[in-house]
Amino acid sequence: MRNKILLFENEQNSVESIATQIYSWGYQVIRTQTVDALLNNISNEEVGVIVFDSTMPDNERIELLTRIKARRSDIPTIIFSACFDQKIMREAGRLKIVAFIPRTSTFSNPESTLRMTLDSICKQN
């Protein structure tokens, strides 16, 4: 379970790229691209971590993250996204999101940061 990652990304090209990378680090990956599939998987699958990336508007992302945490507050959730602002960061704190990793960064490698974060979370569980 702890090595099973639920990846929510609603863009086809991105989901395959991110899933392939996570898989290469030794994790099982469940890919989801729709809200229904995401909610079904968190209800029916034992997963160690949710990696959440979505290009939906901030209010919809916040609502979806709230629904995820209402169903499964026990699953650590990482936001791995190029789309963010102060509102989503404030809400991520309120929802106890374990990490917010910008996919675009001048100062760090986002994939390396994601891997270190996943490794750290999965070793604790």
Identify which of 62, 59, 60, 68 has the alpha carbon closest to the alpha carbon of residue 32.
68
Q: What CATH code would you report for 4-124?
A: 3.40.50.2300
Q: pTM of this prediction?
A: 0.88
User: What is the CA 3 to chain-centroid distance, rounded?
Assistant: 14
Confidence of residue 88 (pLDDT cuts 50, 70, 90): confident
Per-residue pLDDT tens digits for 10-38: 777 788 889 999 999 999 999 998 889 99
pLDDT value of residue 1: 56
What percent of the chain stands above pLDDT 90?
46
